[in-house]
Amino acid sequence: MTVTGHGDTTKRSSDGGTARQQSTEPGGMNEEKIAASPLIQRPVRDWRNIYAVRLAITDLFVLVCVVFGVQIFRFGLDTADVSFRGSASELVIDYSLVSVSIIVGWMMLLHIYGTRESRVLGTGPDEYKLVASASVRLFGILAIAAYLLHIDVARGYILIAFPLGIAVLVFSRWLWRQWLCAQRLDGRFVSRVVLLGSRASVQHLAKELGRQPTSGYLVVGACIQGANPGTIPGTEIPVFADVDNLQIAMTDVLADTVIITNNSELAPDRIRQISWSLEPGRQHLVVSPSLTDIGGPRIHTRPVVGLPLIHVETPRYDGRKLFTKRALDIFASALLIVALSPVLLIVTVVIRLSTPGSVLFRQERVGVNGSPFIMLKFRSMVTGAEQLLDSLQHVKRTEGNSVMFKMKNDPRVTSIGKILRRFSLDELPQLFNVFAGSMSLVGPRPPLETEVDGYESHVHRRFLVKPGITGLWQVSGRSNLSWEDTVRLDLYYVENWSITGDVVILWRTVKAVLARDGAF
């Protein structure tokens, strides 16, 4: 939740993260040093405005190319073919005027719907949703206007221009997002943040924001009331002890955003005073609740008697969403089995001819609600590999994690098995598990019973949904994640799963399989 403050404060400049901190003294600079600093006095445009202008230019270029391109494709250069009916039938309007009107209206609605606001840029699907919503609204306005004014507009022209325009706009925004994420990894085009709260909450939030630098929040300082000057443990982020001198601290580290964490020591009136002290349009206030790993669609902000109440929907595992997920699993798994049948046949023959033993590897795993099931895989290890596991337990598991046994150079894996695992071909028989209903295309990894015995109580929430062939942790690091990160990602999926999210994970799975570092 972002709140813009009001009030007059000392001016300071920000270049979106490119300016370097001039004073590393944790206690901050005094008034004379601030006034004498040429870096702080130099006016620099905010990165949000720079990026918004670039998006606007690109949007205009895309719309001109698409709309006039469709016009020329549909009608050629002779476009005088739109006329009023009735008494005004003699009045002829050139299609070029219609195209210009569509472009102007499209640009206006993209601005009105806030598709270039910083709060939706860089992460999440909101930017794309707003682009689509604005475009659909324009289509509706044009249809109503054409009906009321009795204007004959060629349906093919509209039905081609709008879907194509939406697709190209979203694609151009995706390209800009890739560029923006690359810039943020280098510390540019970010909100420079000062955290305000208790020591534990500040440390936790700094860690979480540091996990994903592409989110656009770069922590450059922290204010902890009564703390000794120093740094946040494990980082070089300076700690300022005096909350009353927040503006001096922000100027010291060239910050433009304050994030207030969960802190019972700050009274509501004090937080309101902090918001009033921020410079309108240049400095921003963000309030972070103690909730973590909550997906955007579950969060709804509702102002009640001046209180910004955050409603968090509890996750549901039944009803229409579950039916849709099962329908998608049946349809997609059947389609993939048919499409990949030549690959399945080739792998079967190769395994049969290369090593002795069965083609399929059957293993009991724990599924939804803790029910056991038999998971199928192409055999990638020597026969009797499970019996050899005990002799490998002493090996230091530096490549895997503390619960799941992973070895980058497992001696039990056959030469053909290495190739199968590299491209995840050994997982293909699990499509039959999906079709039969014991697994889903997307979900948490199905664990062994021996692994479940070592689970903490909260980890058992993984069994609220069906296990999947692929999942969020697989596309986020495959075999290289720690057990803590694996659980965190699996539980995030369980708490926030959606059909749209499943489609995104399936797309990311293709990219992960083709990446240089495969699974082992």
Q: Where are the domains of the chain?
A: 2-46+190-312, 48-184, 320-514
Distance CA 513, CA 51 (A): 33
Instruction: Tell the residue number behind the tokens 């999906």, with chain if given.
Output: 434
C-alpha 26/C-alpha 232 separation (Å) is 11
- Give the Cα separation of 326 and 323 in Å (integer): 5
Question: How many whole angstroms separate alpha carbon 368 and alpha carbon 332?
Answer: 20
Q: Which pTM does this prediction carry? A: 0.64
Nearest to 376 by CA among 251, 256, 469: 469
pLDDT in the model for residue 106: 94
Neighbour-count burial for 43-81, b at 16+ CB within 10 Å, e otherwise: eeebbbeebbeebeeebeebbeebbbbbbeebbeeebeb
Q: What pLDDT, on a 0 to 100 scale, did the predictor assign at position 340? A: 93
Q: Does domain 2-46+190-312 have CATH number 1.10.150?
A: no
The residues, ordered by sequence, that sit 6+ positions from 100 with a Cβ below 8 Å of its Cβ are: none
What was the pLDDT predicted at 15?
43
Q: Is 460 helix (H, G, I), strand (E, B) or coil?
A: helix
Q: How far apart are CA 340 and CA 491, in angstroms?
A: 31
pLDDT of the chain, 520 residues: tens digit per residue: 444 444 443 333 334 444 333 333 333 434 343 333 333 333 345 788 899 999 999 999 999 999 998 888 877 765 444 444 444 444 445 678 888 989 999 999 999 999 998 888 887 788 998 999 999 999 888 888 877 877 776 777 788 889 999 999 999 999 999 999 999 988 888 889 998 888 888 888 888 888 888 888 899 988 887 777 788 887 888 888 777 778 888 888 888 888 888 765 677 778 778 888 888 878 888 887 766 656 556 666 666 666 667 766 666 777 788 888 999 999 999 999 999 999 999 999 998 888 888 889 898 999 998 899 999 999 888 776 565 555 555 554 444 455 665 666 666 778 888 888 888 888 999 999 999 999 999 999 898 888 888 888 888 888 888 999 998 888 876 556 677 778 888 888 888 888 888 888 898 888 777 765 545 4
Quote the CA–CA distance of 377 and 374 in Å, as a whole number.
10
Q: Give kind and range of the element (H or E) at residue 419.
A: helix 415-422
